[in-house]
Amino acid sequence: MTHKVLIFEILLIAAALAATAFLYPHLSAQMPMHWNIHLQPDGSMPRWGAYLLGPGVMAAVAALTWLLPWLSPKDFQVDSFRSTYRPLMLFFFLLVSCIFAATIWAGLGHINDAGRAIAAAYCLGFVYFGNALGKVRRNFFIGVITPWTLTNERVWYTTHRFAAKVWLIVGLLGMVLVSFGFNLSLMISLLIGYYAPKLYSLVMYKQLQRRGEIDNGLSHEQGEQG
């Protein structure tokens, strides 16, 4: 299965490379690459940057899929949720591919449509990742990564249960908002979805700490040395 996915990703990278080369003469000299909260472009790049933004980033994501298990420290391995990790990384690869396709579409002159397509892709990402968050175990790369979730297993677990609900709601709501053109409300919703779980992890950690339910291994070790 993993080798089939790798072959699929290589073929898609090759297709993106070929499409970029074919469309290159028709792309704007300065292509939109960033959209503001009103889904209007506020940043650009030379059209040669399409090779980096598309095939380059896609290749980087494919490489990371294989590298992250090796890079993971002991007790924080992504292999602990391998059955969830692989589909998540494949989805991320496809999400990057879709955003690249929308950016190329913008480079061909369809700027407003591209902005809405990218926003919809982010909303879809919130829905998919939210649905899978409950199966993600502590690691340094995927999930709500904060000092408080990484420090305590219980904080990680409760934060990700909370984030799963928030991201699912935000993603579905965002799909509705982008469909009706409520761009400002959409961006506010996405920002809330991104930061609310991080704040929740801090609050949860402090609550456990006040109740004496946080095991401070460093203080214990220092006490033994004393």
Given a cut of 90, is residue 214 above it in pLDDT?
A: no
Mean pLDDT (whole number) for 16-20? 96
What's the sign of the alpha-carbon dihedral 72, 74, 76, 79? positive
pLDDT of res. 182: 84
- Residues 186 and 178: beta-carbon distance below 8 Å: yes
Angle, alpha carbons 149-130-176 (nearest 5°)? 135
pLDDT (tens digit per residue) in 166-211: 999 999 999 999 888 888 888 889 999 999 999 999 999 999 999 8
Report the C-alpha dihedral over residues 182, 184, 190, 195, rounded to 10 degrees.
-150
pLDDT (tens digit per residue) in 105-140: 999 988 777 888 888 999 999 999 999 988 999 999
Residues contacting 162, CB < 8 A, separation 6+: 197, 200
Given a cut of 60, is residue 217 above it in pLDDT?
A: no
Given a cut of 70, is residue 222 above it in pLDDT?
A: no
pLDDT of res. 41: 82
pLDDT of res. 43: 83
Q: Which of 218, 12, 22 is closest to 104 using CA atoms?
A: 22
Mean pLDDT (whole number) for 143-170? 95
% the chain with pLDDT above 90? 70
The β-bridge partners of 41 are 35
Given a cut of 60, is residue 223 above it in pLDDT?
A: no
Q: For 72-86, give the DSSP string.
A: SPTT--GGGGHHHHH
- Residues 103 and 32: beta-carbon distance below 8 Å: yes
pLDDT of res. 37: 74
- Residues 183 and 42: beta-carbon distance below 8 Å: no
Domain boundaries, the chain: 2-214
% the chain with pLDDT above 70? 94
To the nearest whole number, what is the mean pLDDT of the chain? 89
CB atoms within 10 A of CB 202: 15
> Residue ranges of the alpha helices (H) in the chain?
2-23, 49-51, 57-71, 82-107, 111-132, 147-151, 153-179, 183-210, 217-225
Residue 39: exposed, middle, or buried by beta-carbon count in 10 A (0-12, 13-18, 19+)? Answer: buried
What pTM does this model have? 0.85
Given a cut of 60, is residue 57 above it in pLDDT?
A: yes
